[in-house]
Structure 1
Amino acid sequence: MRLICGILRLDGATASSEDVRAMASAMTAPGLSPDVSIRPNGPVAFGVLDFAGRGGGVEERDGWIVAADARLDRSNRSPADAFLGAIHEHGPDFPDRTDGDYAVALWDRRSATLWLGRDFMGVRPLAWTCRPGGVLAFASLPKGLHGAGLASASIDPVAYGLKFAQQYFRGGDSGFSDIAYLPAGHSLALSVGRDALPRIHRAYCPDRRQVGRWKGTAQQAADTLRDLLEDAVASRMPADGKVACHLSGGLDSSAITVMAARQARSAGGRVLALSMTTARAIGPERLDERPLIAAILDQERDVSHVVVHDTLPLPGQAEDIDWPGSIVQGADDLMMAHAAAFGAPRLLSGVGGDEGATYNGAGLYACLFRQGHLPTLIRELPARAQSDGMSVSVAMRERLLMPLLPAGLKRRLGRKTNAADASHGIGRYLDPELRRLVTARMMPVILQSNTAEERALAFADHHIPSRCTYYAIMGARHGIAPSFPLLDRRVVDFALSLPLHLFLSDGFSRQPFRRAMQGILPDSVRLAREKVGLGDQRYTDYASHRDDLIAQAEALRKAPSATSQVFDLEAIRAGLQLLPHPDRARPDGTIDREALAPGVRPWIPLMAVTCLIAAGRGDRAAGGTRADDR
C-alpha cells in the first residue's frame, strides 16, 4: 500500500519539505514505519509513503514530478508513464482513460500546473484543502491535512448529518468543514497564481445510452461475466500470491475468495479468509451465514480462516477521527490487523456487487411488466414461486402487484420503510432544521426503479466511493490496501450493459452471476437466497445497556457537546426507549424483539444508539489548526 501527500504554494513562496513530512507522519499509524520519499521543487513538494518497503516513491519524468498510489489494470507501463501518457492525450479526462485503483498528483514544471486524479470508483482516497492565494495541500487521508495543521478538524454539520442519515458521505464530503475528497473519477487542475482557483472536472460518467443494450443469451452473459471476474481477481493478486479476502458467505465475497484461492494455489501463494459474524447463531437456521462460510472452506481446504465477532458500538470507544462511527479494535479494524499479520499486502472484498455484477434490484418482476417482457414473466413467476415454496398467486401478489403500488399506500399496508427515509427513517434523529438541509442533499434511493438512469447513478454519484474510502482508512491503520474485483472497470461496464430480463432466470434473481459461478461456488452458496443481518444481535445485546444509554442521552440534553447540535436529543431518547428491556430475555439470552416492540424495526433504536454516540463526541477541532492561522 502507498499513501501520497503534497503542497503547492500559491503565494510565490517555496514549498517546505517539513509540511510534507508532517502530513506523512499524521497518516502513519502507530507501529508502522513506511519508506517515505519527499521531493520539493520550488512551489511544490510531494511525498509518497510506501508501506510495502519495495522502494520507489516520488518520480521525475521529462519536466514532470509524479506521486502515485496506484495499482493499474491492463497496462505494461509504469504508473508514472501511464499517467503522463493519459494526461498528454486526454487532458482533464485522464481518470476516465486509466483503469485501476489509484490516487495521483502530477506537477508540470513548465506550465506550473498541479494535476490531481482519482480512479473511477474512488478505491484509493484523495483529500485536499485550499486557501486561495495561499496553499493547496492534498493527502490520501484527511488526517494528513488536519493532523499537520494545514486544515481545521472542525465538522461540516450537513455532511456529518448526511453521513449518519445514509451511512456514507456523498461526493466530495469528508465530514470536515475545510477538507474535501476529490470525487471519484474526477481530476483537479490548479496553476500557480494568487487569483488561481482549482478546476474540478468530472472525467468518468457512465453512458446511460449503453445501459441494458447488450445482446446475447443468458449463457453467453454468464460466460463473459465469469471471464471478466476471473481476470479482475487475477489482476489484483500480489506477486507472491498471498492475499486476504472478506468472506461473508454471500455471493460476492464467496466468489472472490474461491477465485483468489485457486489463483494463489497455482502461484504457490496462500489466502486468508476473514469473516465477521455474530457471536451466536440467530434467526431462522436458513438465514445463518455460518454454514455458507463453512461450505466455502470445506471446498477450498487450504484457505486459512479467521473469524471476528461483530463489535457492539458504545459511547466512549476510540474511533479513527477520519471516519465517524468507526471503532478502533472493532471488527473491520481487527480483520485488517489479521491480514497484516498474515503478511498480505492487499485485501479483496465484494463491494459493488449488488449494484452491478450480482445486481439486486427491487421489484424486477414489476419492472419487466412495465417494459412489456410478458414472456419472461410467464416463465419466471411460476419458477420463482416453485423455488420459494409458495403458490403462483402469492408470488404474483408479492413479486408483481405489491411493487406496483405507490409508496404511500405500501406504508399504510405496513410494508417496509427505507432506513434512509428522511422523515420516517434515520433522519428522525437529526436536528429538525439540519434535517431539511440534509434531506436536500441526500443520495436518491437506488436499486428500486431499475431504470438506466438509476443503474448508472449507482456508479456515478452514490455511496460506493465513500464505502471504499472507509475500507481504505481502516486498511491504512495496518498498511493494507483494499481492492474490489467487482469494481473492475470492465466488470462494471459489462454489468451495466446487461438488460433487466437477464437478471431473472431459472426462478432466481441475481443472474447471470449465479449461472456464471457453476463449478466455482458450492450450490448451497450459489443458490442461497438471503442471510441474517448483524442488526438482530445488536438489538438484543443493547438490552443490558438500555438504561445507561437513556441516562447518557438525558445527561447530554442537559450538557450538550460540540457535536450534539447535529442531532435531536429528544428523538434519540425516544428511540432508545424502543430497545428491549433486559429482564425480558429468554433463558438462552436472546430476546423476542417482535413481541417486545411490535411494528418497530431494529434499525430504529439501533440508529438512535449510533446518533447518541456521535452526539456525545467532543469538539473534533481540538488539536486541529486552521490553515489561515498558521
Structure 2
Amino acid sequence: MAPTQGLEPASVAAFLLHILPSPRSLFRGVSRIAPPLPRVHRESMPLSSDEEEDESRARALLAACSDAVGARVGSGAREVSLSGGVDSAVLCMLAARHAEGRVRAWSMDVHFADEVERRNARTVARLAGAERVDVPIPDALLPDLFEPAVLANESAILNARAVASFAFYAEAKRLGASVMLSGAGADEVLMGNPEARDSALARIEEDRRLARTVLRSAVDNLGRTPDGPWSQEDGPEVSDEARYAAWVLRELVLPPELRGARAHGLTVHTPYLDSRFADAALALPESSLSRDGVGKWLFRYAVRGLVPDEVRLARKTPRYGHTALSSPVRARWLELYRAWLSASRLEPLEVIDPKAVLTLLERYTRMEPEAPEAGGVDRLLMRLCSLAMLHAHAVHGSPCPES
C-alpha cells in the first residue's frame, strides 16, 4: 500500500540522530526487512605471520575474487566502474581476463575527483586492454539533479558524490551500458580503513549535536547514546565489524550505487559483496588486513603483478566534497537549499524548527569552505533538504518507497 501521509515524524527525528532501527522506515506505514548478516568471524592469529602463510592466504583471496568477477562476467557484465583506486582496478583487470577485449571501463570526471586516481584509471584501462569511457559531470548539472537523485535513492543524500553518481549512471545507460561492476563494499569487508569506525563515531556525534540544534524540543526525549547506530544490528553472534559494515552499506554506500543506477535501467553488481568473496574476506585475521596503519594489506599483497604498484599501494583518498561552499556553482546550491529549507517545506515534517534551520543556513553561508564545522553542517542541510523532498513526493501518492 502506498503511503499517503509522507514521512513519520518520530522516524525523521530518529534518523537525524542516527538512532533509527534498521526495521523502521522513514515513511509512514512502511517497514524494512534487512537481509541477514554474515555470521563469519575473523580468525584469531598472532601479530606475526610467516611469508608462506601470507602467500597461501593471498592466493585463496585472489582466487575468490576472480571467481566472483568471473561469475558476473559470465552472466553478461562487460562494464566496470573504474575510479582508479585499487578495488576498481582489480575488478577491471580480472574482468578483462575473463572477457578479453570486450570490457569497457567507465570513469567519472567531476570537480572533486582525485587527479591521481584519474591518472591511475587511465593506466589500468590501458593495461587491461579495456575501452575507457570518461563521463564528464558538469558542476552546473548537480543542483538540478539533487531532487531526482534523492527520489531515486529513496533515502537522504548527504554529499554531492551521490548526485554525481546518479548523473554518471544516466550517461552510462545512454551510451549503451546495461550491467556494470562496482568496487563498492571492498573497504567494508577488507578493512580498507582500519580507523573507519572511530572516524564514523566522531562524525555521528557531530551529526547528533547539530541535529539537536534544529529539532523541536518536544522530540528531544529519544535518549542519548554514545554508541554507533550499527550497535542495534542483529545479535551478539554477529561481529561488531559486520554490523558496522551492514550499516555503512545500507545507509551510505549502496543506495547511490544500486538504486541510483536502477532508476536509469542500469544494473550494478558488487563482486566484493558476493558471498564467495565476502565470506573469505571476513574470515581473515585482522593482522592480515591491517598492518602499519594501512588497510587491505593482504589484498594489496595478493594483487601484486595484477595492477601497477602505484595503484596497488596508494592510500585511500576521500571521495567527498561539500556541495555548496566548495562548489563552482555555490550560488545555485545555496538557492536550492533556501528553497527546500523554507518553513513551508519543513513544517510538514513536524519535528523540525524552521527558524533554527534558517539560522544555521545563514551561518553556513558565511563559513569558509575549509571551516572545521562546514562538512558537518553541509551534511545536515543536505539531509534536511532530502527529507523535505521525500515528504513532498510521498504525500502526493508516489509509489511505495523502499519496496
- Higher radius of gyration, 1 or 2: 1
Three-state SS of the structure 1 residue aligned to 2:96 is helix
| 2:43 paired residue among 209, 212, 216 | 212
- The reply to whether residue 260 of structure 1 matches residue 95 of structure 2 is yes
| 2:331 paired residue among 532, 539, 544 | 544
Offset of residue 602 of structure 1: 2.3
1: distance between equivalents of 2:35 and 2:166? 24
Cα distance, 1:436–1:306 mapped onto 2, change above 3 Å: farther
1:119-139 CA-partner distances (Å, limit 9, x unpaired): xxxxxxxxxxxxxxxxxxxxx
1: distance between equivalents of 2:45 and 2:70? 25
Count of residue correspondences: 380
* Structure 2 match to 1:320: 151
* Structure 1 match to 2:239: 453
1:338-393 CA-partner distances (Å, limit 9, x unpaired): 443454432211222122125422189xxxxxxxxxxxxxxxxxxxxxxxxxxxxx
* Structure 1 match to 2:8: 156
1:495-541 CA-partner distances (Å, limit 9, x unpaired): 22222221234774321111111122221111111324331564312
- Greater strand content: 1
Within 5 Å, give how 1:504-543 maps onto structure 2.
Answer: 504-505=290-291, 508-536=294-322, 538-541=324-327, 543=330
Cα distance, 1:562–1:355 mapped onto 2, change above 3 Å: same
1: distance between equivalents of 2:17 and 2:257? 19
8 Å CA contact 1:425–1:604 kept in 2: the answer is yes
2:376 maps to a residue whose letter is W
| 2:107 paired residue among 275, 290, 294 | 275
Within 5 Å, give how 1:514-593 maps onto structure 2.
Answer: 514-536=300-322, 538-541=324-327, 543-545=330-332, 548=335, 552=339, 556-557=342-343, 559-561=344-346, 563-579=348-364, 593=369
Three-state SS of the structure 2 residue aligned to 1:614 is helix
| 1:182 paired residue among 33, 52, 58 | 33
1: distance between equivalents of 2:374 and 2:224? 21
Structure 2: runs of 5 or more not aligned = none
Which has the larger displacement, 243-252 or 508-517?
Answer: 243-252
2: distance between equivalents of 1:316 and 1:349? 22
- The reply to whether residue 232 of structure 1 matches residue 68 of structure 2 is yes
TM-score by length of 1: 0.52
2: distance between equivalents of 1:434 and 1:313? 31
8 Å CA contact 1:344–1:480 kept in 2: the answer is yes
* Structure 2 match to 1:340: 173
* Structure 2 match to 1:140: none
Offset of residue 579 of structure 1: 3.8
2: distance between equivalents of 1:416 and 1:472? 22
1:425-479 CA-partner distances (Å, limit 9, x unpaired): 5565444544653867961379xxxx983123235x5242454355332233233
Offset of residue 228 of structure 1: 0.5
2: distance between equivalents of 1:611 and 1:298? 43
Three-state SS of the structure 1 residue aligned to 2:357 is helix
Structure number with greater CO (CA < 8 Å, separation at least 6) is: 2
Offset of residue 316 of structure 1: 8.0
Q: Quote the RMSD (CA, aligned, Å).
A: 4.1
* Structure 1 match to 2:194: 361
- Greater helix content: 2
8 Å CA contact 1:277–1:534 kept in 2: the answer is no
* Structure 2 match to 1:611: 384
- The reply to whether residue 171 of structure 1 matches residue 6 of structure 2 is no
8 Å CA contact 2:88–2:182 kept in 1: the answer is yes
Offset of residue 157 of structure 1: 3.0
Cα distance, 1:551–1:152 mapped onto 2, change above 3 Å: closer
- The reply to whether residue 491 of structure 1 matches residue 288 of structure 2 is no
* Structure 2 match to 1:289: 117
